[in-house]
Amino acid sequence: MIAQKLVIVVCNYVPGADKFITIPQFELFLQQLQQKAELHVEEAMRAVVLLHRFIAKQQKKNVRVIKVSNFGTLIIVSFILAMKLSQEKTHNNQFFADMFGIPLAHLNRSEISFLRIIDFELWVDIETLITQ
């Protein structure tokens, strides 16, 4: 269900993404996060909300940050932030950089850019999680 929501979100807002992504790819991504980083369902739901928020904010600010070349990194960042918000003890960015084969400096810059676009608005209330 969450993998399907991710595919819909990305395909609706990233022109050309439908040629590169599939539900099984996102299922594998979520499986990796569950096994290696202890991702919980509510964190995955929160990550989808954060990704929606990112897309809405970039449109409101009239900037185009998310595109085919970087949507994967932005999805990873949304999940990292969701886990950092929920888990008392979480992995550091080096762990995630190694896990996904992303240079640490790039991941850190992407995380800061994501936070700036969403104006550091990370809180997601229960009602939003339930209705999404």
pLDDT of the residue at 7: 87
DSSP 8-state assignment for residue 101 = T
Considering the domain delimited by 2-131, tell me its CATH architecture. Answer: Orthogonal Bundle (1.10)
Closest to 64 (Cα-Cα) out of 17, 29, 25, 13: 13
Q: pTM of this prediction?
A: 0.90
Contacts of residue 15, Cβ cutoff 8 Å, sequence gap at least 6: 67, 68
Q: Is the dihedral of CA 17, 59, 82, 80 positive or negative?
A: positive
In the chain, the percentage of residues whose pLDDT exceeds 70 is 97
Tens of pLDDT, residues 22-50: 899 999 999 999 999 999 999 999 999 99
* Spatial separation of the C-alpha atoms in residues 18 and 5, rounded to whole Å: 13
Reported as a pLDDT band with limits 50, 70 and 90, residue 132 is: low
- DSSP letter at 88 equals S
